[in-house]
Amino acid sequence: MEIIGQLAPILSDAQGRRVITITTDKLDKDDAVALLKLQEESNEKKVCIDIRKYVEKRSTQANRYMWELCGKLAEKLKLPKIDIYRKYIYELGICKNLEISESASKTFIKAWEDRGLGWIAEVLEKNEKYAVINAYYGSSSFNKNQMQKLIKSIVEDCKLQGIETKTPQQIEDLINLMKGEK
């Protein structure tokens, strides 16, 4: 279950334990029921809570449009659509630079690239002891701003190739749709 909210100031109770309060604008009925059930079941037992910074995810409509544009470019340039997509992922450069043992590098690369089409692992340097790898994130992990940059780059190239695209306002509207909206 994922609940989006804000942290209230952290307080201490009489025993010196920290009390963390999360406020939400709304709570889905199913989430509320699940929380009540968890509270009843845990009854003095520990629970695991994952709190992280909220990041707006890209919309599925924006993702569809990105793939549509990649398809049009692929057709025009007579290249595989996946190659077009991976080129933009690489050029956008959203990656993590890692140094891992050489013996683990092949396993890591396979596991990373098995995550999806845009998950690229590039070996920058390698010797008997270690490998330096750039691990690029696929667009499935992109937030709204990252997806906006990706689509903007593809749109620019589409225009250079004479491929019709949506207007800047239509693209902005696609980007701004939250995941799960109609």
Digit-by-digit pLDDT tens for the chain (182 residues) are: 677 788 888 889 999 988 888 888 777 778 778 878 887 887 777 777 778 777 666 678 888 999 999 999 999 999 999 999 999 999 999 999 999 999 999 999 999 999 999 999 999 999 999 999 999 999 999 988 899 999 999 999 999 999 999 998 898 888 777 544 43
Q: Are residues 50 and 71 in the same domain?
A: no
Q: For the chain, how many structural domains are there in total?
A: 2
Whole-number pLDDT of residue 84: 97
**CA atoms of 98 and 131, how far apart (whole Å):** 8
Whole-number pLDDT of residue 179: 44
Query: Is residue 182 domain-resident?
Result: no
Reduce the secondary structure of the chain to three states and give it as a string. CCCCCEECCCEECCCCCEECCEECCCCCHHHHHHHHHHHHHHCCCCCCCCCCCCCCECCHHHHHHHHHHHHHHHHHHCCCHHHHHHHHHHHHCCEEEEEEEHHHHHHHHHHHHCCCCCCEEEEEEECCCEEEEEEECCHHHCEHHHHHHHHHHHHHHHHHCCCCCCCHHHHHHHHHCCCCCC
Q: Are residues 91 and 165 in the same domain?
A: yes
Query: Is residue 93 domain-resident?
Result: yes
Print the domain residue range for 21.
Answer: 1-54
Q: Are residues 153 and 66 in the same domain?
A: yes
**CA atoms of 163 and 108, how far apart (whole Å):** 38
Q: Are residues 119 and 157 in the same domain?
A: yes
